[in-house]
Amino acid sequence: TDWINKHTVYTHGNGFIAAPANKVDEVARDVGSARGGYPVYTVADLQHLDGKQGGELQLDMKQPRIYFGPKIASGAGDNQDYAIVGDDGSGNDREYDTDNSSYTYDGSGGVNVSNIFNRAMYATKFGSMNMLLSDVIGDDSKLLYDRDPRERVHKVAPWLTTDSKTYPVVVDGRIKWVVDGYTTLDDLPYSQRTRLDSATEDAANNDPAAQQRAVSNSVSYIRNSVKAVVDSYDGTVDLYEFDEKDPVLKAWEGVFPGVVKPKSDISDELKNHLRYPEDMFKVQRELIAKYHVDDPGVFFTNDAFWSVPSDPTAPEGRQELAQPPYHVVATDPETNKASFQLITPFRGLRREFLAAQMSVSSDPQTYGRIHVRTLPTNTQTQGPKQAQDAMMSSDEIARERTLLQGTNTLTNGNLLTLPVGDGQILYVEPVYSQRADQASAFPKLLRVLVSYNGQVGYAPTIGEALQQVGIDANAVTTTQEAGGDSSGSGKQDGSSDAGSGKNDGNGGKGDSSSATPAPSGDAKAPTADQMKRITDAMDKVEKARSGGSFEDFGKALDELDAAVAAANGK
C-alpha cells in the first residue's frame, strides 16, 4: 500500500554530491550543442563510496544514508515524516537502498514500537490505524520522527532561535547537518528592536517553505552562540558553544548544565566547514544601513541611510524583494589571502547608485570579521539594478537572447557586486540555458556577463568577458578598497554580533574600508566582576520596570549605564 511504501520502504536518502563553483566539464561555445557547460560532480553514495567519481574532490564517505534531513521532512506536512525501520521479524531487508539492494536500519536513533502501548500511542499521534494493524512492525522495529534538523535542535534546546537555513557537511565519514543557534533577548535596554522575519526576507527565501522556516519574533539582542550538528543517519544532536563570552548563553548553561559542549570539542574537520550564518548577516546589514551614520542631525534626516538593493535577476513577482547575500571566494583585505566570504551591496536610500559593500569571512582564522567598503558620496557608481539594465540593453546580448529564446529557456544567475582595482566595481553574472522542448534537460552555463567602468562583457568564459572590458583575468583581484574621499560614510567599528543594534562609527573621518572584529578578537573583554556588575544592574532594571516605579527605573538605568561604561574602560 501507499502507507507501507512511504513509511517502511522508501525511508531514507542516499549520498552526497559536490561540485566546484568555478569549473564546468567543458566550455559551451556552440550554443546548439548538447555538450559543455555542466558542473563537474563529485559523488559519494552507496554506489561510489570512494568518492572519486566526477572530479578532484575527495569525500571520505563511510555512511552515505540519510534518515534525517530538511528535504525528508519538508514534503511530509502535518508531522507525517515518520519512518518505521529495523528488523520486522521476516528475516528480509525491507527498506529500499539501491535498485539492486535493500537495507535494514541498525542505527541508535528511533523509538521502539514493538509493544502495543507504544504503537497505540503513536497511532493516535499520527492518526493512522496502520501503526496498530500492519504486520511489517516487528519486535525490533523503531519509529523515526521529528526528522528535520532544525526541529530536532528545538526539541533539545527550545531556548535557542535557529537560522532558517541548514547545510550539510561530511565529517568523520558521515553526512551531518549544521544548524546555527542564536541566543536572543526581546527587550535589551538601549537597543534597536528588529523583526527577524522582515530582516531576513529576500528574493531567495520568499517561497512558502522558506516563510514557514522564518522566525517572526522581534529581538533586540542576538548572538550566534551555538553551532548545532545533527547526524543524518541516527539523528544525534550535538550542541557546541561558539561564543564563549555570551552572558545569555552562560545563563542558559546554568539552567541546563551539560547540554552544550565546550568550543574546544569542535574538531578541526568540522571547524573548517562552518559558515557565517546568513540570518545574522542579514540582521547586521539592516542595522548597519542606518547606524553607520554617527551624526545626530544627519541621522534624523535619514539622508545618509543605505538600503539593500532589490534583486534584478529574481523571478517575476520577486524582483522588488531584497537581493540575498552571496557566498564568494575573494582575497581578504588584511591577510591578502583568498577567503570564503558572504557579501552584500548597499545602495543609497531611495537611490539606485551604489553606496557601499559589506563582507564577512567564514575562514577559521578570520571568522566573523566584517569589512564595510564605502564609496565616496560624490560619485554615481552603478548599483545592481542599473548594471543589470545596462547589460540587458546591450545590442549584442539582446540579439543573441532573441535568437536563443525560441528553443531555449534562459535564466540569469546571481549578480555579484565585487570591488576591484582602484575604487572600481565589477559586476559578474552567469547566464544559463535549458532546452525548452526537453522536460528532462538540465540547465547549463552558457555565457558570463560582466559590467565594469561603463563597459559590458559577454563571453563563454569569465576570462574572455573580463578581457572585453579591459581587465587582465590573470591579475584581477577583488580585495582593493572602493577608495576615495569617504565623506559622509566612513569606517564601521561595531560588534559583529549585532547585539545592541548600535554601531560606533567613524563617520567619514577615516579609511573607506574597515574591519569589524568578531567577539573573539583583540578587544579587551570585561572582567568577571564587571560582568557581574552589569548582570546585577540588568536585574535591577527588570525589577524596577515590573514594579512600575519610574524613579526606581531611572536609577536602575543609571546603574546599568555606569556598569557598561566601566566595562568599556570609560
HEC per residue, 430-468: EEEEEECCCCCCCCEEEEEEEEECCEEEEECCHHHHHHH
Question: With bands split at pLDDT 50, 70 and 90, how would you rate the model's confidence at 283?
Answer: very high
Q: Is the pLDDT of residue 101 over 80?
A: yes
Question: Pick from 33, 22, 26, 38: which is nearest to 444 by CA?
Answer: 38
Q: Is the pLDDT of residue 211 over 60?
A: no
The pLDDT of 239-251, averaged and rounded, is 96
User: Residue 534: what pLDDT?
Assistant: 73
Question: With bands split at pLDDT 50, 70 and 90, how would you rate the model's confidence at 209?
Answer: low
Residue 510 phi, psi dihedral angles, 5° rounding: -155, -155
Looking at the DSSP assignment, which residues form a beta bridge with residue 111? 143
For 418, the enclosing helix (H) or strand (E) is: strand 416-420
User: Can you tell me the distance from the alpha carbon of 385 to that of 127, in angstroms, rounded to the nearest whole number?
Assistant: 51
Global pTM value: 0.80
Q: Check residues 548 and 10 and name the one with the higher pLDDT.
A: 10
User: Can you tell me the distance from the alpha carbon of 87 to that of 9, in angstroms, rounded to the nearest whole number?
Assistant: 12
Q: Check residues 49 and 144 and name the one with the higher pLDDT.
A: 144
Q: Is the pLDDT of residue 253 over 90?
A: yes
Kindly list the domain boundaries of the chain, sorted by start residue.
Answer: 2-66+82-144, 149-274, 305-516, 528-567
| 327-331, 342-346, 356-360, 526-530: segment of lowest average pLDDT | 526-530
The pLDDT of 511-538, averaged and rounded, is 58
Indicate the DSSP class of residue 285: H
User: Residue 545: what pLDDT?
Assistant: 67
Residue 15 phi, psi dihedral angles, 5° rounding: 100, 170
Which residues make Cβ contacts (< 8 Å) with residue 446, sequence separation at least 6? 28, 31, 37, 404, 410, 431, 432, 433, 460
| 70-74, 314-318, 458-462: segment of lowest average pLDDT | 70-74
| 2-11, 165-174, 474-483: segment of lowest average pLDDT | 474-483
Which residues make Cβ contacts (< 8 Å) with residue 538, sequence separation at least 6? 189, 560
Q: Is the pLDDT of residue 507 over 50?
A: no
User: Residue 54: what pLDDT?
Assistant: 41
Query: Taking the chain, what is the end-to-end CA distance rounded to the nearest angstrom?
Result: 72
User: Residue 497: what pLDDT?
Assistant: 41
Round the average pLDDT of the chain to a whole number and report it: 83
| 168-177, 407-416, 560-569: segment of lowest average pLDDT | 560-569
Span 71-98, pLDDT tens digits: 776 554 445 689 999 988 888 899 999 9
User: Residue 33: what pLDDT?
Assistant: 76
The pLDDT of 537-541, averaged and rounded, is 75
- With helix as H, strand as E and coil as C, how does 366-411 read? CCCCEEEEECCCCCCCCCHHHHHHHHHCCHHHHHHHHHHCCCEEEE
User: Taking each helix axis from N to C terminus, what angle separates 395-404 and 384-392, rounded to the nearest 10 degrees?
Assistant: 70
User: Residue 499: what pLDDT?
Assistant: 38
Question: Pick from 476, 444, 449: which is nearest to 461 by CA?
Answer: 449
Question: Pick from 380, 360, 355, 299: which is nearest to 490 by CA?
Answer: 355
User: Can you tell me the distance from the alpha carbon of 46 to that of 30, in angstroms, rounded to the nearest whole number?
Assistant: 36
Which residues make Cβ contacts (< 8 Å) with residue 394, sequence separation at least 6? 456, 458
Q: Is the pLDDT of residue 299 over 80?
A: yes
Question: With bands split at pLDDT 50, 70 and 90, how would you rate the model's confidence at 428?
Answer: very high
User: Can you tell me the distance from the alpha carbon of 264 to that of 261, in angstroms, rounded to the nearest whole number?
Assistant: 8
Question: With bands split at pLDDT 50, 70 and 90, how would you rate the model's confidence at 236?
Answer: very high
